[in-house]
């Protein structure tokens, strides 16, 4: 199912309507002028809803010296958002910590207004991604399962294989997110 058809199906079924302070997930990458890009499947906390706009909070971590990317965790380098200058200015920096390798990190949160193109059921995204994987990856080889690699290995694998397919950038991002969120978390 294409992302736009998935969105329409969810809207008609009521699945895209989330209540306040629940976790919701973007159904596509969202590029916002005042933030940057929030990536498909990123966990967001819905703070309030006003018509077709949601006020959300995204929480994650950033390595010292890189304030343009919000990661899910220091060990789990899933990119939740890539920020522009306005997004960087809107960041709230939290507690600093050091990872097992001596790298400095800090927690961050960002509050933003986004279109109500979210789902409360992340699994719906992964179902679509698994179908896409089964159709596309298995043309040349056995379709890999997410637990074959670590969360940090999947982006480069999907990127290298994606060039050999007719998948769109949106489909490749969906696959990357699917593999990362369902990978081995070491």
User: Each residue of 69-115: pLDDT tens digit?
Assistant: 999 999 888 999 999 999 999 999 999 999 999 999 999 999 999 99
Would you state the pLDDT for residue 90? 96
Would you state the pLDDT for residue 186? 57
- Residue-wise pLDDT tens digits, 8-20: 444 444 444 444 6
Please report, for residues 39, 129, 141, the alpha-carbon distance to residue 112 in angstroms, rounded to integers and kept in the order given.
14, 27, 41
Taking residue 144's Cβ as centre, other Cβ atoms within 10 Å add up to 16
Contacts of 124 (CB under 8 A, 6+ apart): 6, 10, 15
The overall average pLDDT reported for the chain is: 87
Would you state the pLDDT for residue 2? 53
How many CA atoms lie within 13 Å of 180's alpha carbon, on the beta-carbon side? 27
Burial of residue 116 (number of CB atoms within 10 Å: 0-12, 13-18, 19+): middle
Q: Residues 120-137: what's their mean pLDDT? A: 90
Round the CA-based radius of gyration of the chain to a whole number and report it: 17
Q: What are phi and psi of 15, to 5 degrees?
A: -70, -20
Would you state the pLDDT for residue 13? 42
Would you state the pLDDT for residue 17? 45
Specify the higher pLDDT residue, 6 or 62.
62
């Amino acid at each position: 199912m294409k992302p736009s058809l998935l969105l329409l199906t969810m809207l008609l079924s009521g699945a895209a309507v989330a209540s306040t302070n629940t976790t919701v997930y973007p159904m596509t990458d969202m590029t916002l002028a005042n933030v940057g890009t929030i990536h498909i499947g990123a966990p967001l906390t819905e703070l309030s809803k006003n018509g077709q706009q949601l006020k959300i909070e995204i929480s994650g971590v950033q390595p010292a010296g890189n304030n343009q990317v919000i990661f899910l965790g220091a060990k789990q380098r899933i990119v939740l958002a890539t920020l522009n200058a306005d997004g960087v200015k809107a960041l709230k920096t939290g507690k600093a910590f050091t990872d097992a390798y001596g790298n400095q990190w800090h927690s961050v949160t960002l509050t933003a207004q986004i279109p109500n193109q979210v789902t409360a059921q992340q699994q719906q995204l992964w179902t679509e991604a698994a179908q896409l994987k089964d159709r596309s990856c298995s043309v040349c080889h056995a379709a890999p399962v997410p637990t074959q690699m670590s969360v940090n290995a999947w982006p480069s694998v999907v990127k290298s294989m994606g060039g050999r397919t007719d998948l769109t950038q949106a489909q490749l991002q969906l696959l990357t997110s699917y593999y990362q969120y369902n990978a081995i978390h070491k």
